[in-house]
Structure 1
């Protein structure tokens, strides 16, 4: 075999040698043999700097037009509000029921009751127990979600258009005929207690609890988290949960929210069919009272010996939704700490390296919500970091907000608005927020207009009025010895230990 291959190879080479291919014909542009070209040779290519493109940043593209959703409303004879926002791109609908009462209606000493009461809605309804109800939703390809906040609660599902009616029939059972079974109550209560144990292991959660109490005082409806505290939740009974829901539910204190591939006429027809017979005594509660904002006298310390970081929350009462200063203060807060390039983050993270990040936000609610700045810093720079945080607050007056800072904040806030309604359930949450805060249906348009029209003078005025450091309460979670050594000499207030995860003392008689 090897000899045969050798022979074939030799024959092939011989054939190639005896029959050479003719040369290609000369090109018309090729000079004749021996002729001299009169054209100069092309210049050698110049070397280009491969990094030259970095000298000129790419031009930004034209931003897309801002298209805001529209909302429509109707009211049934029994007082139920129907809120609709139509979006036809996909055959999807969010269907939910929003309640006008939230954790702000928790009775004194029963923090966490609203959370537990509303969670019981998904623990069996009508003729179905917990498992059967869950399976009925699963048969539609969905799992219901439930959220409780200080101003209200919402239970709902995202379904295919063809499944809207059966989903709404299940939601009608949930809100009109909840079981409140004793065995399910005990299990749900244990779950809430377990969640609290996990949450209270977080220094950030401890800081939030202490900050709410410091900002609002313990008697204010906004002074506690929706989940409550272990001591308060442990004391709750099935009668408490039933009583809360019976007092606060009813068509006059609720809204049916339908967003997506559905019209107002379709929504009203479904509402009449499934919720038109709903009855209940609930009415929308009054807004919580406006808290005072006294000068700071104390620095609240949640002691966590040898904690590697110190968590800082600094804040005061802010504004209620719809306040005349809302949009200007939103812009000022954003410049101070509302995005990555804010003054606070660029100082503590980028310039000093004290923290992975720092920020600030304003939570407008039906009543006056909190205005907070926050960070977590290395334990060894607790004092210097707090000094810089307070300095940035003072700097809003000493170094007025520039036009560039203002425009960056304005553009960022307006461009972020569509993130709230990317999905039909997000659109439903936007509708629920409008209902909770009792805002007009064109609230999104008003927000964009308010952010666009806020002047530099208005933003500077509210920055100096609401972000002045003297009215800011300070909460620190960290090593008490380090805090004493580094924060004590700053004279920001008397260092006062607090235990926010413990039940507050009962008020004495006559108070």
Structure 2
């Protein structure tokens, strides 16, 4: 029998080339004549330019009894200007191929514009008009308030949002804005009207305390001149930037059950406060937290999902709260997930066992290596778009971090050893310093949870 001769010609399989060195982009700083600070990164090939404007309008500055006014103002920036109605403004954005979003958080209000590079000037003019002279029409404010009130009803029905609300209220003093929902409650949102929104705008929105971040393909663009001709037309009084208050919290171990009779699942949120990005331990904490619960192969998921089948997934994370350059900021360290009602106490017992075992035995070199390969290896893909780079640069500005912060974090992640990651995660997730919130059927879960001895148990209505 003659040898088989293939009918097709097979070409050699392509081989990977030498990896190109990568580092998080370094921005260039500047300042406009009106006092607006500017950071920009030229990213050749990124034809969708991202612009983020950070306004020094923190939630802590909201007037007493008007929690949520910052959020209403943020949404109202796209509700027209002194020359355009809300519908006309939306139409102009669409014709420019642009999107403009805004939101309010504890450190301030952020506006995010994305626009094709070929229409950058047009997009910047629309952004400048929104900042310079928002119409803030009474009917639009009423609509936004009504929408927010509807959202609050839905948030109360969402177990994850309800758990977060309860945890923040437990950790922080009632006088601290951190203890209350970012978007306000029904009681504080209902009184918000055009006058309140206008007053908050007048008091806090000015270029002297704001920063603009511009990222994208800026080839052939005289950016300083373009920004002066657009955002440079926004004026306002000079002022000193706000100073965030130190973050303090009561993380005495305890359990709060938010009762939802008949619930077939229990939402878990377990947390305390720990170091934020100003702390030298942040890179090690990032690495250790990822090993604990950052992926499907992490310790929490391996036990609670793969071995026991309690859940579809449990995650651990560190979320910066209020940050300040003097190091007084803190981050929320938390474990979040949901389990079926009958498995609530067993899942909590296994979680505490995982944490205690971690403290006794530490992470393995394999866990550390896998985490580094992902956290560092995925970074070039994570920051492939102009929007992702702009968002991270804006985070750095908001949290008063140096411009090379993110690049330095990746460098340290690659060099950290297993012992450092272990020390950070063990120090952060101390089993006897965790506040546990459970949103579920108290009649079923309360007694088994009390028997675990992980803190005093109290039940509140949903």
TM-score by length of 1: 0.82
Change over 3 Å in CA distance of 1:363–1:61 after alignment to 2: farther
Q: How far apart are residue 386 of structure 1 and its match? A: 0.8
Structure 2: distance between partners of 1:270 and 1:132: 24
Change over 3 Å in CA distance of 1:126–1:300 after alignment to 2: same
Q: How far apart are residue 85 of structure 1 and its match? A: 1.0
Q: How far apart are residue 228 of structure 1 and its match? A: 2.0
Cross-structure match for 2:61 = 105
Cross-structure match for 2:88 = 132
Q: How far apart are residue 492 of structure 1 and its match? A: 2.0
Q: How far apart are residue 499 of structure 1 and its match? A: 5.0
Give the number of equivalent residue pairs.
445
Please say if residues 51 and 112 of structure 2, whose CA atoms lie closer than 8 Å, have aligned partners that are also in contact: yes
Q: How far apart are residue 263 of structure 1 and its match? A: 6.2
From 336, 350, 373, give the equivalent of 1:411.
Answer: 373
Instruction: Tell whether 2:426 aligns with 1:464.
Output: yes
Instruction: Tell whether 2:248 aligns with 1:291.
Output: yes
Deviation per residue, 1:160-200 (Å, 9 max, x gap): 22211111111111001111211111011111111222222
Matches within 5 A, 1:14-25: none
Structure 2: distance between partners of 1:228 and 1:286: 22
Instruction: Tell whether 2:460 aligns with 1:498.
Output: yes
- Unaligned residue ranges in structure 2 (runs of 5+): 5-14, 324-328
Cross-structure match for 1:224 = 180
Structure 2: distance between partners of 1:290 and 1:64: 41
Q: How far apart are residue 342 of structure 1 and its match? A: 0.7
Cross-structure match for 1:93 = 49
From 91, 114, 123, give the equivalent of 2:79.
Answer: 123
Change over 3 Å in CA distance of 1:171–1:190 after alignment to 2: same
Change over 3 Å in CA distance of 1:242–1:262 after alignment to 2: same
Q: What is the DSSP-based 3-state SS (H/G/I as helix, E as strand, rest coil) of the residue aligned with 1:85?
A: strand
Please say if residues 96 and 171 of structure 1, whose CA atoms lie closer than 8 Å, have aligned partners that are also in contact: no
Change over 3 Å in CA distance of 1:210–1:455 after alignment to 2: same
Structure 2: distance between partners of 1:230 and 1:413: 40
- Unaligned residue ranges in structure 1 (runs of 5+): 1-40, 46-58, 501-511
Instruction: Tell whether 2:349 aligns with 1:387.
Output: yes
Cross-structure match for 1:373 = 335
From 389, 392, 395, give the equivalent of 1:433.
Answer: 395
Q: What is the DSSP-based 3-state SS (H/G/I as helix, E as strand, rest coil) of the residue aligned with 1:498?
A: strand
Cross-structure match for 1:505 = none
Q: What is the DSSP-based 3-state SS (H/G/I as helix, E as strand, rest coil) of the residue aligned with 2:320?
A: coil
Instruction: Tell whether 2:150 aligns with 1:194.
Output: yes
**Which stretch has the larger CA shift, 96-105 or 185-194?**
96-105
Cross-structure match for 2:297 = 341
Structure 1: distance between partners of 2:62 and 2:387: 27
Instruction: Tell whether 2:232 aligns with 1:276.
Output: yes
Q: How far apart are residue 108 of structure 1 and its match? A: 4.3
From 59, 62, 71, give the equivalent of 2:27.
Answer: 71
Instruction: Tell whether 2:103 aligns with 1:141.
Output: no
Instruction: Tell whether 2:445 aligns with 1:489.
Output: no
Cross-structure match for 1:15 = none
Q: How far apart are residue 247 of structure 1 and its match? A: 1.6
RMSD of aligned alpha carbons: 2.4
